[in-house]
Structure 1
Amino acid sequence: MDPRKPLDSLAIGVMLVLCLIWGLQQITLKATAVDFSPTLQLALRSGIGAVLVGLLMMARRERMNLSSGVWQPGVLAGSCFALEFLLVSEALHHTTAGHVVVFLYTAPVFAALGLHWKLPNERLALLQWLGIALALGGVAVAFLQGAQTGDSDLPRMLWGDFLALLGGIAWAATTVIIRVTPLSSLPATQTLLYQLVMGFVLLLPMAALIGHTTFNPTPLVWASLAFQAVIVSFASFLIWFALLRRYLASRLGVLSFLTPLFGVVLGAWLLDERIESGFVVGAGMALVGIVLVSGHGWIRTVLRRA
């Protein structure tokens, strides 16, 4: 019997806060991009987050598992993690933060396809295949909407949207690697530390290589770095893992898809980003499809009770 329990009011409240935080991270990166290159900011946030996780492990007397067969997938998962955020940082130079968060959150669709291929107990049900079709159709609608606007910045925006979608695929690859290797049995702190260390090690030289090293230390820049490193990379991820140990993952997964909605709304409110009607339709289709993929177990339970 699964010891994890259904959501209560505390879990729902915490998830709403987490979704708000995750939706805000792309907004802060975009808002400070002129004074603080997103690639450099993501590298530094990974480094600071890694130090904080390392200190927490020391306080718990938790040893890092560097044995053969563990560190190799750890490095690979961390490399995919770094690639995801490199793509996100580049996408933010070309498209809106709202678009980035929506396309990034297609990751569960690609992760479900990868796990269906690799793990027998992760075979997709009919409802999930329907969700995948709906999500991919929504992505197509969102792209086609952009292609029909006639905006002079259209090629640039479509390129940014495509990079964000690739970021979602890289995130999915990270998830699959963690699930199908010995990383799945590690404590959450160690899995997170592999990702943060590799994010720092790979993104920092990449920022120098592509010339994205702008750093103008304004109060907003310092606030953004503190938010990204302490709140997003350290606290929010550890709280998420703690919730996964106590509550049913399918219920939490459905709530997590409030994040793209928060991202779009916050982008319009704080950055004056335009919300196109066609994009809303496509994004809505994609999000419904993703909920069907990730929350099919919960949905089937609800339908049976009904």
Structure 2
Amino acid sequence: MTQSSTAAAVIAPPSPPPASEQATLRPTLAGKLVLTAMFWGGTFIAGRVLAQAMPLMSAAFCRFLVAAVLLVLVAKKFEGGLPRLNRSQLATTAFLGFTGIFLYNLCFFGALARIPAGRTALFVSLNPIMTALAASLVFHERLGLRRWAGIAVAMLGAMVVITRGDFAGTLHDFHQSFGAGEMLMSLAVLSWAAYTLGSRKAMETLSPIAATTYATLWGLAFLSLGAAGEIVSVPWASFGWKIWLSILYLGAIGTVVGFIWYYQGIRAVGPSRTAIFTNLVPAFGVLLGALLLGESILASMLIGGALSAIGVSLTNRK
């Protein structure tokens, strides 16, 4: 993200997000959202490295400690610092910090400690569907027959992934395909849908940088409570470059760049149309997991991922 493009995107006073059916998605913003999906696909690889090296609270705390420092510097450089928040803004950003930072990452690292990065990433295919359903309930966005059909197709794809294509075996032994890791990642999906909808409220009065920074600071505060008893027992001196690079990647690229661009999308075209780009995250996650971690790619992943992509496209097509 260049200095000029960032400044142009955030200096203008924030305004309420336009209706998703009326706003135009500019090619530049679409490119940013595709890159965001790629960056977030990479977080599953870096997260897998950290989840196997340190307690999950400590891993999440390190990620957002790096992000918080960088975001405060970015806010000072491009916006002259952080604005003072009123009570409503404090409540909204605290909600974002709890759902999208604290709760999501608690489940995210917990899942990565139990199941492969590629399989974990495929659960992200549920994000746009949960967001569209929640937006229908909260913001009364109408879902016609085509969108309900898309939801059904995407849910079928998700079930193919979760059960590894063995529906009968799953019914016989549910825990065979849906264990603790899958349960944690399902909770992560729900928390991210809540975070996405809350971001729309925050974007009515805050810029993407301000909203991201305050959400991160709140999330860091929540994480510090859980990490306080773990930090001292972490073997910091024995960590190699892969672990330190993973922390830096998660904090700088996966959080600072990714979250700001995601907020820009929500402000420009609304939560449902922005969330559709997270459907690209599983593809990047599976590909990077195979290339960097040597994880296998199952046929059920490909079939289920394709069904989810079709379903999400139907659900969110303008």
Q: TM-score, normalised by structure 1?
A: 0.81
Match of 1:71 among 86, 90, 106: 90
In 2 relative to 1, CA 201–155 (structure 1 residues): closer, same or farther, beyond 3 Å?
Answer: farther
1:111–1:172: 8 Å Cα contact kept in structure 2?
Answer: yes
Give the residue type in structure 2 aligned to 1:161: E
Q: Secondary structure at the match of 1:66?
A: coil
Question: Which residue pairs with 2:185 in the alignment?
Answer: 164
2:60 matches 1:42: yes
Deviations 1:123-149 (A, max 9, x none): 222222111111222222223336649
Question: Which residue pairs with 1:304 in the alignment?
Answer: none
- 1:271 shift after superposition: 1.3
Distance 1:221 1:156 in 2: 30
Question: Which residue pairs with 1:283 in the alignment?
Answer: 305
Distance 1:166 1:104 in 2: 11
Consecutive unaligned residues in structure 1, runs of 5 or more: 298-306
Q: Secondary structure at the match of 1:171?
A: helix
- 1:17 shift after superposition: 3.4
Distance 1:17 1:63 in 2: 26
Deviations 1:213-258 (A, max 9, x none): 5644311111111111112211232244456667898876555432
Q: Secondary structure at the match of 2:103?
A: helix
Q: Secondary structure at the match of 1:21?
A: helix
Match of 2:240 among 218, 224, 249: 218
Distance 1:156 1:278 in 2: 12
2:234 matches 1:234: no
Which deviates more from structure 2 when the two are superposed, residues 163-172 or residues 98-107? 98-107
Deviations 1:129-171 (A, max 9, x none): 111111222222223336649xxxx748632122112101110
- 1:27 shift after superposition: 0.6
Match of 1:90 among 91, 110, 118: 110
In 2 relative to 1, CA 225–279 (structure 1 residues): closer, same or farther, beyond 3 Å?
Answer: same
Distance 2:92 2:263 in 1: 19
Q: TM-score, normalised by structure 2?
A: 0.78
Question: Which residue pairs with 2:11 in the alignment?
Answer: none
Question: Which residue pairs with 1:300 in the alignment?
Answer: none
Give the residue type in structure 2 aligned to 1:282: G
Distance 1:244 1:282 in 2: 27
Deviations 1:58-97 (A, max 9, x none): 2322442421222112212211111011001100111111
Distance 2:95 2:280 in 1: 29
Q: Secondary structure at the match of 1:123?
A: coil
In 2 relative to 1, CA 182–218 (structure 1 residues): closer, same or farther, beyond 3 Å?
Answer: closer
Question: Which residue pairs with 1:293 in the alignment?
Answer: 315
- 1:291 shift after superposition: 2.6
Q: How does 1:131-280 map to 2 (within 5 A)?
A: 131-145=150-164, 148=169, 155=176, 158-179=179-200, 181=201, 183-208=203-228, 213=234, 215=236, 216-242=238-264, 254-280=276-302
2:58–2:230: 8 Å Cα contact kept in structure 1?
Answer: no
In 2 relative to 1, CA 214–131 (structure 1 residues): closer, same or farther, beyond 3 Å?
Answer: farther
In 2 relative to 1, CA 33–109 (structure 1 residues): closer, same or farther, beyond 3 Å?
Answer: same
Q: Secondary structure at the match of 2:85?
A: coil
Distance 1:44 1:32 in 2: 10
2:196–2:271: 8 Å Cα contact kept in structure 1?
Answer: no
Distance 2:145 2:235 in 1: 48
